[in-house]
Structure 1
Amino acid sequence: MPGQAKNPEELAVLLDHEFKDISLLKAAVTHSSLIKGKGSKAKGEDYDRLEFLGDRVLGLIISEELFRRFETAEAGQLSRRYNAQVRRETLAEIGLKMGLQDYIQMADDLSAAGGRENPSILEDVMEAVIAALYLDGGFRAAHKFIKSKWWPRFDHKDASKKDAKSALQEWVAKTGRSLPCYSVVEETGPDHDRRFKVMVEIPDYAPATGSASSKRAAEQKAAAKMLKELQSD
């Protein structure tokens, strides 16, 4: 049997925020499978709506800090730094480091299949938690949490590194070719653990493929593989 999720009130202590409305945090860590799943008897809200808001709150706070911190950086450089901080892998990594997975409430079958460690779910829950902090304590509460987890990452050696898709796009632009074309050629696995295989094509070159748990990550892997081939020619 999968382990039971920890009490959200313990998570509030970890977040260093005294919630006036703890139901916001409870919803932030509740997967839809527990509320809307077949045979579910649980009541309440899941994190879907909160995730939508949290994504925007995180984006604004990260954007503002990058704008202030890197005064001489051009827009493209800021975009690369921004993308590095808000991508799924970053949110999932931060979530795992703080033990967020232990608080996610979901259906037993999904938990048994490793749902609590699923990067996509961790990303959504992280964004929902940010929204819960924002709604309960305002901008200051959300900013305090994001500052504690994200600020140390800004000067990481890969924070301003050009991602594979951007690098590939720049390469084709310099050579006068058409933009890379990405397409999903295979999609497998259950809803909570999807795998995507993406193919990237450039005229006059053999296509390359990449597989990952999200389309975006699969595109990056395909682009990286294509770049490696181009650079070896």
Structure 2
Amino acid sequence: MALSAEQRDFAGRLGHDFARPDLLQSALTHGSVASTVRSDNQRLEFLGDRVLGLVMAEALLNADGAASEGVLAPRFNALVRKETCAEVAREIGLGDVLRLGRSEMLSGGRRKEALLGDAMEAVIAAVYVDAGLGAAREMVLRLWGARITSVKDDARDPKTALQEWAQARRMAPPRYQMLDRTGPDHAPVFTIRVVLDNGATETAEARTKRQAEQAAAEALLTRVEADRHD
């Protein structure tokens, strides 16, 4: 089946001319609209996650020949996590061409981080199956761009960093409490509080629980580190 005009434009943004258009169509098809004649992107997502991991591991080794595994691992995790995949997906307008069922469309599926991240991985796999690792590598490196060289030396996610901070001081792991959820289903706002054993606490809001937890952890880690240096 030939690509639609919107799908051809999207393929242009990817920089790839598909010999098998059906691969891109499958990559853009969410399970909510799949059928016996229209496969969804779950299998491609599974493969794309592994292709992305290989490309990023290779790129990080090439970018820093002296970095240890302990330094490379958090950088790797920062580059392949769902949030980063979704960020790249937004930059190339992937949500605009996702094929979704009615319920997902009504609930704002085109903006959901999980759906975008999964679809981005599926698109990577579609290019890999269509033209091989070289083509997939070229596309990923171009789309991820400066993220690869600018990823922080300490790229641990804030929740991990805060937990390690607490463990180093013989504290229990940080506790996360959801204080509120507001807004419509397609654009919720979560308010999360994080608390340490010593009573230190911070609160943050974000569009997903994970993002709110990360933001709260980052704010609290920044504060306790600043207090330590005062």
2: CA distance between counterparts of 1:125 and 1:25? 10
**Residues 1:121 and 2:115 aligned together:** yes
Q: CA deviation at 1:228?
A: 4.2
Q: CA deviation at 1:155?
A: 2.4
Between the two proteins, the alignment pairs up a number of residues equal to 224
Deviation digits for residues 121-158 of structure 1, max 9, x if unmatched? Answer: 21111101001111121211211111111242222264
Q: CA, structure 1 residues 55+159, in 2 after alignment: closer, same or farther (shift >3 Å)?
A: farther
Q: 2:69 aligns with which of 72, 75, 88?
A: 75
Q: CA deviation at 1:45?
A: 0.8
Segments of 5+ residues of structure 1 without an aligned counterpart are 37-41
Amino acid at match of 2:20: D
Aligned to 2:30: 31
Q: CA, structure 1 residues 111+169, in 2 after alignment: closer, same or farther (shift >3 Å)?
A: same
Q: Secondary structure at the match of 1:20?
A: coil
Aligned to 2:144: 150
Q: CA, structure 1 residues 190+54, in 2 after alignment: closer, same or farther (shift >3 Å)?
A: farther
Segments of 5+ residues of structure 2 without an aligned counterpart are none
Aligned to 1:13: 12
Deviation digits for residues 157-216 of structure 1, max 9, x if unmatched? Answer: 647544322331332233232333557777888987676665544323255555545454
1: CA distance between counterparts of 2:31 and 2:108? 16
2: CA distance between counterparts of 1:209 and 1:132? 40
Aligned to 1:58: 52
Q: CA, structure 1 residues 46+87, in 2 after alignment: closer, same or farther (shift >3 Å)?
A: same
Instruction: State which drifts further: 108-117 or 20-29.
Output: 108-117
Q: CA deviation at 1:44?
A: 0.4
Instruction: State which drifts further: 97-106 or 209-218.
Output: 209-218
**Residues 1:226 and 2:220 aligned together:** yes
What pairs with 1:157-172 in structure 2 (closer than 5 Å)?
A: 158=152, 160-172=154-166
Q: CA, structure 1 residues 52+71, in 2 after alignment: closer, same or farther (shift >3 Å)?
A: same
Instruction: State which drifts further: 204-213 or 83-92.
Output: 204-213
2: CA distance between counterparts of 1:50 and 1:172? 39
- Could you tell me the percent identity over the aligned residues? 39
Instruction: State which drifts further: 5-14 or 103-112.
Output: 5-14
What pairs with 1:59-208 in structure 2 (closer than 5 Å)?
A: 59-156=53-150, 158=152, 160-182=154-176, 200-206=194-200, 208=202
> Do the aligned residues in 2 keep the contact of 1:199 with 1:209 (CA within 8 Å)?
yes
Instruction: State which drifts further: 187-196 or 62-71.
Output: 187-196
Q: CA, structure 1 residues 141+183, in 2 after alignment: closer, same or farther (shift >3 Å)?
A: farther
Deviation digits for residues 65-92 of structure 1, max 9, x if unmatched? Answer: 1122211112232122212212233222
> Do the aligned residues in 1 keep the contact of 2:59 with 2:148 (CA within 8 Å)?
no
